[in-house]
Structure 1
Amino acid sequence: MISRKTFLKSVAGAVAVTGLGGGTAEAAGKPRRLRGGVAYDTGVLHAAGEPLSRVRWNRRLLEQEIRVIADELRCPSITAFGTEIGRLTETTAAALRRGIEVYVQPRLYDHPQDQVLEHLAESARQAERLRHGDDVKFVTGCEHFIFTPGIVPGETFQERLANMATIPPEEWPKIMERLADFVARAADVARRNFRGRITYAAVGGLEPIDWNLFDIVGIDYYPYFATDAEYTKDLAQYRRWNKPVMVLEFGSCTFTGAAQAGGMGWDIIDYEQDPPEIKPGHVRNESEQADHIARLLRVFDSAGLRGAHVYTFIAPNLPHHPSQPEHDYDMASFSLVKTLRERHHDELSPYRFERKRSFDALARHNRG
């Protein structure tokens, strides 16, 4: 997989050509204190013929998890993301009943662009049906740069990620034009089917988006900086649009070095083995995940952002194994709770979850 450093070097020229837009700083005055929310996975189809990322799904599990998010974590908002529109709608309704604001984010990876837009349109219609005032926002997709074909060469998002390291610099302006065209089409589809506020989940620092198309600047934010001042400087670029800035995803996996690995922290599982194994040299570390989340919540608060969602509440497809570190897939998870299956390698197995240190870190921040 391409590293963030390699990718930034590859696209530097294209970003400079496209630009990040103008605008002035947000209005002066201290905003309300930022309380953290969570991203909530309703099940994503990552590849044709595979099950959704959440195989087990029922009303009891949904209601239990939303109750914990509302009552124990005290989250004011969530990003509900997934492929099945029925699950997105069910989750949105459950969260609204608990007084939680919802950012509805449909995800349809590696499908033709027209199908992605049709999926967006129906998702937007269902979100509009549930909206009362400003309690539901609509997210016009996630990181189309990576997950939607026809922008970067490659049939699957894995191929596109791999191809990015070899694309010559002179090709990047054309790629950025294709990205801008599709994002504009997605925004238009959303406006025609949803009357509330809309945003987009952009790869932080890597997708130069025309935020004039949207009501809220939305970013998936995984860079790592040694100092808080560097984070604050980096985040300033998004405030130039004089619009609310929402971090729709941020977080860390659960091993030593995961904070620095950022959004690629998941890539520590060797799927060539049967069953898959954690690659040698990785050590479980709940404290690193918790400390990173607590630190960024403080940074986002001081930067005056509208809100931030930890990725993610639960990842049942990456269960924890307390006695076999090589099969402790939760190390590669960004989740706040660890899943324990009755049958570890069976995706259909019943499971329970336990709170991780990162869960406690978010709860403490929100209580504070």
Structure 2
Amino acid sequence: MISRKVFLQAVAGAAALASVGTGRASAGRASSGLGFRGGVCYDTGVVHAVGDPSSRVRWSRRQLEREIGLIARDLRCPSITAFGTDLGRLAETTEVALRHGMEVFVQPRLYDHPQDEILQHMAEAARAAERRRHGDDITFVAGCEHFLFTPGIVPGATFLERIQNMGTLPESEWPQVIRRFREFTARAAEVSRREFGGRITYAAAAGLDALWTDWSLFDVVGLDYYAYFATDAEYTADFDRYRRWTKPIRVLEFGCCTFTGAAEAGGMGWDIVDYEADPPVVKPGFVRDEREQAEHVARMLRVFAAEKLDGAHLYSVITPDSPHHPTNRDLDYDMASYSLLRTVRERFDDDNSPYRLEPKQSFRAVQRFNR
């Protein structure tokens, strides 16, 4: 694995090249900030690599109903991002969330497949979402961070190879990377528009492909936002980069993991686990810290409300593939999760084990904010 610092350094030049964008800007609605409430991401199961199991092995309608009810009732979330690979699960989750009165951002994820297969998967998801849409209760998300997860943009057969290759890519090659990215996102937007009649967006990494994206193709600027700044004024300056499109800005992911220092680690917080060990273990020197996670989540919600964003979804409410171990710190994978709830399995080593959910301090923080 590479560090987030190295990762960001590798693409800093590309982000600068991309910052000179073209395209029309159109007026869009924005939240007043009054009554702003946070939403969450709900993982229906993602296959992260071809041949791997889903991130969510255990699945049942009863479990889905219980967890979506908790999000709507206990957290009072006005909206969710439902993401995943299995289109049946994605449609089922959309139906349940709509019945609970939430707006749903439907985001299909198919990693490391040929581009045509990804677009076909996207088209099927968009058709299913359109069948369930009534007005603006569903927004379709045309994929997630394609420069990493879709082959043919950055060199590399897998997204891990692409991350590594970004660190050695000559500056002269970045204009071609950005061109290939824009060509693919234009195809993704076209497919989404053809199959879906409501609002569409794209889940872009803030500071990276979010600066390459031609947002004139979308109705909402969608950001996966893990930036950490010491002052709120720095967040204002950061969001100003996306306001020139005069479109609603929706944070589709934000949050941090559950250890001291996780807020600054941001999107690389999961990297505290040594996955080469058997079994994987939490690396030495990291301390479980629910308070830091809770304080960061509460702060970011306050920032987003002050910035009058269209909304924000915390990643993620539940992380079933990162169970909590109450007695063995080395196996406490929940430290490396962004979830608001601890997953406690009946059989710790069994991905298909029944589990119970325990609120973390961050869960209570979102509850307080949304009230």
Which aligned pairs between 1:269-348 and structure 2 lie closer than 5 A? Answer: 269-348=273-352
In structure 2, what is the equivalent of residue 232 of structure 1? 236
Bigger drift between 110-119 and 168-177 goes to 168-177
Q: 1:307 to 1:268 in 2, by over 3 A?
A: same
How far, CA to CA, are the matches of 2:90 and 2:64 in structure 1? 11
Residue equivalent to 1:87:
89
For the residue of structure 2 that corresponds to 1:119, the secondary structure is helix
1:195 has 2:197 as partner: yes
Counterpart amino acid of residue 190 in structure 1: S
- Structure 2 match to 1:74: 76
TM-score normalised per structure 1: 0.96
Task: Map residues 5-84 of structure 1 onto 2, 5 A cutoff.
Answer: 5-19=5-19, 21=21, 23=25, 30-84=32-86
Conserved? CA contact 1:2–1:164, under 8 Å: no
Matched, 1:255 2:264: no
> Structure 1 residues 71 and 43, CA, compared in 2 at 3 Å: closer, same or farther?
same
Instruction: Summarize the Cα distance change of 1:24–1:3 in structure 2 as closer, same or farther, 3 Å threshold.
Output: farther
Which shows bigger deviation, 198-207 or 153-162? 153-162
How big is the alpha-carbon RMSD for the aligned residues of Structure 1 and Structure 2?
A: 1.6
Q: 1:111 to 1:29 in 2, by over 3 A?
A: closer
CA offsets, 1:9-47, max 9 Å, x none?
Answer: 333333333325475997899443321000000000011
Aligned-residue offset at 1:293: 0.5
Give the conservation status (yes or no) of the 8 Å contact 2:80–2:105.
yes
1:351 and 2:355 aligned: yes
Cα separation, 1, equivalents of 2:94 and 2:243: 28
- What's the counterpart of residue 219 of structure 1? 223
Q: Kindly state the Cα deviation for residue 273 of structure 1 after the two structures are TM-superposed.
A: 1.6
Say if 1:96 and 1:29 are closer, same or farther in 2 by CA, change over 3 A.
Answer: closer
Match of 2:108 in 1: 106
> Higher mean Cα deviation, 186-195 or 221-230?
221-230
Amino acid at match of 1:157: F
CA offsets 1:165-194 (integer angstroms, 9 cap, x no match): 111111111111111010000000000000
The change in CA–CA distance for 1:297 and 1:250 in structure 2 (over 3 A counts) is same
Partner Cα distance (2:122, 2:61) in 1: 24
- Give, in angstroms, the shift of residue 290 of structure 1: 0.5
Structure 1 residue 121: Cα displacement: 0.2
Shift of 1:104: 0.1
1:349 Cα deviation from its structure 2 partner: 1.1
Corresponding residue pairs, total: 367
**Aligned counterparts of 1:72 and 1:324: Cα–Cα separation in 2:** 30
Aligned counterparts of 1:21 and 1:294: Cα–Cα separation in 2: 33
The runs of 5 or more residues in structure 1 that have no matched partner are: none
